[in-house]
């Protein structure tokens, strides 16, 4: 037995519904706008992919922005709402509460956007050193922020 395939059109429609639902949430500045940004970036990425424009270097910085926002939101959610995530929880589990549901959406976004970044970079091997330098710079900045936050 094979699993049903979800079409790009179905993913876009699901994202539209999720975006519409989330837009009405007032979280007091705790990440809803950042989540909406990541969802909209992924939605546009799907539209580009479906129109045969995948691998666009002009769009790649946006994909990386959506990816980084998703990772940061996921990490912050797991830290700030740790009690909502039992020790054995992972994103593939059926969500048992709203925090797990959001984490599952973020995990899905992370996986999809990582795939998009990887595929785009593979289409442009002549820029491999540039991509690696940019990634190293980002991780160095992230480590510096984490180090600075240790002193808070």
Tell me if 2 is assigned to some domain: no
Q: Is 133 inside a domain boundary?
A: no
In tens digits, the chain (152 residues) has pLDDT values of 455 567 888 888 888 888 888 887 777 666 888 899 999 999 999 998 888 876 789 999 999 999 999 999 999 999 999 999 998 888 888 999 989 999 999 999 999 999 999 999 999 999 999 999 999 999 999 889 888 888 86
Q: How far is it, in rounded angstroms, from Cα 65 to Cα 68?
A: 5
Does residue 22 lie in a domain region? yes
**Count of alpha carbons within 13 Å of 84, Cβ hemisphere only?**
18
Model confidence, pTM: 0.85
- Please give the residue range of the domain that contains residue 101: 8-124
CB atoms within 10 A of CB 70: 27
Instruction: Give me the number of domains the chain comprises.
Output: 1
Residue 83 lies inside a defined structural domain of this protein: yes
């Amino acid at each position: 037995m094979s699993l049903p395939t979800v079409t790009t059109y179905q993913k876009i429609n699901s994202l539209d519904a999720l975006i519409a639902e989330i837009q009405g949430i007032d979280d007091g500045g705790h990440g809803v706008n950042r989540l909406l940004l990541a969802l909209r970036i992924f939605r546009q990425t799907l539209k580009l992919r479906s129109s045969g424009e995948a691998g666009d270097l002009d769009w790649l910085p946006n994909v990386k922005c959506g990816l980084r926002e998703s990772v940061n939101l996921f990490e912050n959610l797991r830290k700030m709402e740790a009690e909502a995530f039992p020790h054995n929880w992972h994103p593939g589990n059926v969500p048992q509460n709203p925090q797990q549901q959001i984490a599952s959406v973020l995990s899905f976004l992370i996986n999809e956007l990582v795939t998009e970044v990887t595929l785009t970079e593979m289409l442009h091997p002549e820029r491999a050193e540039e991509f690696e330098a940019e990634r190293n710079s980002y991780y160095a900045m992230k480590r510096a922020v984490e180090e600075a936050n240790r002193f808070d």
